A and B are shown apart, each in its own frame.
Chain A
Amino acid sequence: MRDFQMTRRGFGFLAAGAAVSAMLPVSARAAGAGAVAATFPGSWEDAYRTVLTPMVQKAGYDLTIAPALAQDQLAKVMASPGNPPYDTLLMSPGQMAVAIENDLIQKIDPSKLSNWGMLDPSFQGEYGPTVTIEVNGIAYNPDLVPKPKGYRDLFENPAYSGKVSWTGFASNTAVMAYTEIAKIFGSGPNDMDAVFKLFKAHPEHLKGVVDSTNHQMTLFQQGEIAVFMCSTGNVARLKSLGLNAEFAHPETGSPAAPVNIHLTKGTANLDAAYAYMDAAISKAAQDQLKEPPTEMFPTNKDVALTPAIEAYVTREQLKAMVYPDWVEINKHRPDWIRQFDALVAG
């Protein structure tokens, strides 16, 4: 057998060849072969990859599902203006308002979406379709605590003392809960001083403050907490893991947030992005996404609700949900975040 020998020049050519081949997917992507879609991590990411990727491939495009929280999506797009890392973003109205203000997303052309007509007009946004409605409330472990009546109960009933977990104002779920609490204990949704005062009077609730709903899901699993502010999707996920988790609608009304797909400004893969959007609002996709473990509320009116989803909310009840004023919230949010962090850190 001959000894393997390589000259320095040969090694140089090999390294250069490897570098060029490593860049090939980049050039393929630049040529418009596929879309990169930002999706929330966890169950969203799994579901979208499993359900939508084959559908988009059938339409002739590649789809890369990239997990990122809505705030992180915004930060990354802001970091590379003109060359966005994602072709589409997935976010609620809170982040959508920031994206519009910073010129990060563009209006869509509905004529490119064959399933557009299957959406209720309230889900046909000029900046992209609403793919589901997140209904928020209170998750609780019935083995450890009684069913909460609402936010007031969590502070006034000693059964919940030290068993409730909260997150900071960076979380949309938390902000929606805090604006409701501000209505109950203060003069209106923006009276956050009343909320801070309430937490000061109940320091046992500050012990359970963590960074995100994802951490709370882990803590709930471990029996560390018994109650947290959540969406119906969080509870569906916990149930699918075999946990005893239940959802409670607050007596003052459940806050709700539409989740929309947006087209990033400057995207080079428009057709693939539209194919992905169209797949996400199609009957075929939403029929699968309404099943456990995701149990997403379908926005396509041809999709029938499952009994499990109807137990949370019906199409008629959607109108009675609480829809916060995100423009007003965004105005105060930085200040609330800083104040709450200082309060929590003591």
Chain B
Amino acid sequence: MMKASGFPYVVPMLLLSVAFFATPFAVLVGFSFAGPGGATLDHYARFFGDAFNFRVLVNTARLGLETVVGTTVLGIPIALLYWHGGRNLRQVLIFLTLIPMLTSNVVRTFAWIVILGRQGPISETLMALGLTGMPTSLLFTELGLLMAMCQIDLPLIILPLIAILSRTPVQLTEAAQVSGAGPWRILVTVLLPLMLPGLLAGWILVFASTSSSFVTQAVIGGARNVYVPQLIYREVGTLFDWPLASAIAVVLLLSTGCLLVALTMISRHRRLVGHA
């Protein structure tokens, strides 16, 4: 039970949450039910009644999950390198992780136009290797967008992993080796369970960031790959159908929120907490 004397310290946080999260969210939900004759479910029915919208929702969730997988595959080796590395290597890795985060998302996105374009390094490499006879553009493709999203969101998974591993002695792997475990066994049975709380935190951040990344989705994905943020922008800024835009935003928030709750529940599981 909370001590009576502790409550005043929580008040500022509560007030901030009510003012800047709960109230705007309530307004958003209110808008999504607004109809000419009072509250209505019409906007939600319109959203789910259109197969195109439902497909956009599924595509957005899929992009989020694919980016989670991509960043995990790329992030774990980098975090382990940091864990095993000396002071200099750690500083370099932290620098390389943080610098992109300090650069505007818009700048990073436009840099990807050059990288993925016909005259970019990927196309040049493919041609130099003889894998393709003509310049190839990955712009406006899901693969190109996935590559850009993985690079942009990679720090969000590396940093929680580093935070977890920094508290863990490196000698742990030596102990496992002495006990007869091979590299894969050490990774699967020792390191991954150890890193799981960090991974879960990273997954939440990456999924939320990817599924709401309007600029990158619009610029790299083009108009053929439509995701929920673009749908919301279209309804607000072009069609001025705010109630429908609110309903779509609530659906996006709820679907991201469900995943967040599920991952939080997993991270609090007794067996996982025990490993951490």
Q: Which residues of A contact B (CB under 8 A)?
A: 69, 71-72, 74-75, 78, 98, 167-168, 170, 206-211, 215, 218-219, 222-224, 333-334, 337-338, 341-342, 344-346
Identify which of B137, B224, B237 contacts A206 (C-beta below 8 A).
B224
User: What separation, in Å, do the CA atoms of A69 and B118 have in the docked complex?
Assistant: 29
Residues of the B chain whose Cβ atoms lie less than 8 Å from the Cβ of A344: 223-224, 226
User: What separation, in Å, do the CA atoms of A206 and B224 have in the docked complex?
Assistant: 8
- Judging by beta carbons under 8 Å apart, are A72 and B119 in contact? no
Secondary structure at the A interface, as helix, strand, loop or mixed, is helix
Residues of the B chain whose Cβ atoms lie less than 8 Å from the Cβ of A211: 218-219, 222-223, 230
B240 an interface residue at 8 Å Cβ cutoff?
yes
Given contacts A210-B223, A341-B234, 4 further A-B contacts (CB under 8 A): A170-B238, A207-B140, A219-B113, A345-B226
- Judging by beta carbons under 8 Å apart, are A209 and B222 in contact? yes
Closest to B239 in A: A334
Q: Which residues of B contact A (CB under 8 A)?
A: 52, 55-56, 110, 113-114, 117-119, 137, 139-140, 218-219, 222-226, 230, 234, 236-242
User: What separation, in Å, do the CA atoms of A341 and B55 have in the docked complex?
Assistant: 12
User: What separation, in Å, do the CA atoms of A208 and B222 have in the docked complex?
Assistant: 8
- Judging by beta carbons under 8 Å apart, are B236 and A75 in contact? yes
Distance to closest chain A CB from B127 (angstroms): 15
Known: A345-B52, A345-B226. A222 touches B119 (CB 8 A): yes
Identify which of A75, A210, A333 contacts B140 (C-beta below 8 A).
A210
Known: A167-B223, A168-B223, A211-B223. A223 touches B119 (CB 8 A): yes
Distance to closest chain B CB from A194 (angstroms): 20
Distance to closest chain B CB from A300 (angstroms): 32
Residues of the B chain whose Cβ atoms lie less than 8 Å from the Cβ of A78: 240, 242
Known: A223-B117, A223-B118, A224-B118. A209 touches B237 (CB 8 A): no
Distance to closest chain A CB from B11 (angstroms): 15
Identify which of B55, B219, B239 contacts A337 (C-beta below 8 A).
B239
Residues of the A chain whose Cβ atoms lie less than 8 Å from the Cβ of B140: 207-208, 210
Known: A211-B230, A218-B113. A345 touches B225 (CB 8 A): yes
Residues of the B chain whose Cβ atoms lie less than 8 Å from the Cβ of A337: 234, 238-239
User: What separation, in Å, do the CA atoms of A123 and B5 have in the docked complex?
Assistant: 70
User: What separation, in Å, do the CA atoms of A333 and B113 have in the docked complex?
Assistant: 30
Q: Can you spell out 7 A-B residue pairs with CB atoms less than 8 angstroms apart?
A: A71-B237, A98-B240, A168-B223, A215-B219, A218-B110, A219-B139, A341-B234
User: What separation, in Å, do the CA atoms of A74 and B239 have in the docked complex?
Assistant: 11
Residues of the B chain whose Cβ atoms lie less than 8 Å from the Cβ of A346: 224
User: What separation, in Å, do the CA atoms of A346 and B51 have in the docked complex?
Assistant: 12
- Judging by beta carbons under 8 Å apart, are A345 and B139 in contact? no
User: What separation, in Å, do the CA atoms of A170 and B234 have in the docked complex?
Assistant: 8
User: What separation, in Å, do the CA atoms of A42 and B60 have in the docked complex?
Assistant: 30
- Judging by beta carbons under 8 Å apart, are A75 and B240 in contact? yes
Identify which of A71, A206, A209, A224 contacts B238 (C-beta below 8 A).
A71
Residues of the A chain whose Cβ atoms lie less than 8 Å from the Cβ of B218: 211, 215
Distance to closest chain B CB from A338 (angstroms): 8
- Judging by beta carbons under 8 Å apart, are B139 and A224 in contact? yes
- Judging by beta carbons under 8 Å apart, are B137 and A224 in contact? yes
- Judging by beta carbons under 8 Å apart, are A207 and B224 in contact? yes
- Judging by beta carbons under 8 Å apart, are B117 and A222 in contact? yes
Residues of the B chain whose Cβ atoms lie less than 8 Å from the Cβ of A71: 237-238
Residues of the B chain whose Cβ atoms lie less than 8 Å from the Cβ of A168: 223
Distance to closest chain A CB from B30 (angstroms): 15
User: What separation, in Å, do the CA atoms of A338 and B239 have in the docked complex?
Assistant: 10
Identify which of A75, A98, A338, A341 contacts B223 (C-beta below 8 A).
A341
User: What separation, in Å, do the CA atoms of A345 and B114 have in the docked complex?
Assistant: 24
Distance to closest chain A CB from B49 (angstroms): 13
Distance to closest chain A CB from B10 (angstroms): 18
Residues of the B chain whose Cβ atoms lie less than 8 Å from the Cβ of A207: 140, 224
User: What separation, in Å, do the CA atoms of A223 and B11 have in the docked complex?
Assistant: 56
Closest to B217 in A: A211
- Judging by beta carbons under 8 Å apart, are B52 and A342 in contact? yes
User: What separation, in Å, do the CA atoms of A283 and B178 have in the docked complex?
Assistant: 86
Residues of the A chain whose Cβ atoms lie less than 8 Å from the Cβ of B234: 170, 337, 341
User: What separation, in Å, do the CA atoms of A231 and B148 have in the docked complex?
Assistant: 31
Interface-centre pick from A74, A78, A167, A170 (highest chain B CB count, 10 A): A170
Question: Nearest 8 pairs between A and B by C-beta?
Answer: A209-B223, A170-B238, A342-B52, A75-B237, A71-B237, A334-B239, A211-B218, A222-B117
User: What separation, in Å, do the CA atoms of A8 and B87 have in the docked complex?
Assistant: 39
User: What separation, in Å, do the CA atoms of A103 and B201 have in the docked complex?
Assistant: 47
Closest to A167 in B: B223
Distance to closest chain A CB from B105 (angstroms): 16
Distance to closest chain B CB from A40 (angstroms): 14
Distance to closest chain A CB from B27 (angstroms): 11
Closest to B120 in A: A222
User: What separation, in Å, do the CA atoms of A338 and B46 have in the docked complex?
Assistant: 13
Residues of the B chain whose Cβ atoms lie less than 8 Å from the Cβ of A333: 239
- Judging by beta carbons under 8 Å apart, are B239 and A345 in contact? no
Identify which of B110, B113, B226, B242 contacts A341 (C-beta below 8 A).
B226
Closest to B114 in A: A222
Residues of the B chain whose Cβ atoms lie less than 8 Å from the Cβ of A215: 218-219
User: What separation, in Å, do the CA atoms of A167 and B110 have in the docked complex?
Assistant: 18
Closest to B59 in A: A345
User: What separation, in Å, do the CA atoms of A341 and B56 have in the docked complex?
Assistant: 11
User: What separation, in Å, do the CA atoms of A98 and B218 have in the docked complex?
Assistant: 25
Interface-centre pick from B56, B238, B240 (highest chain A CB count, 10 A): B238
User: What separation, in Å, do the CA atoms of A224 and B117 have in the docked complex?
Assistant: 7
Distance to closest chain B CB from A208 (angstroms): 8
Closest to B222 in A: A210
Closest to A224 in B: B117
Residues of the A chain whose Cβ atoms lie less than 8 Å from the Cβ of B230: 211
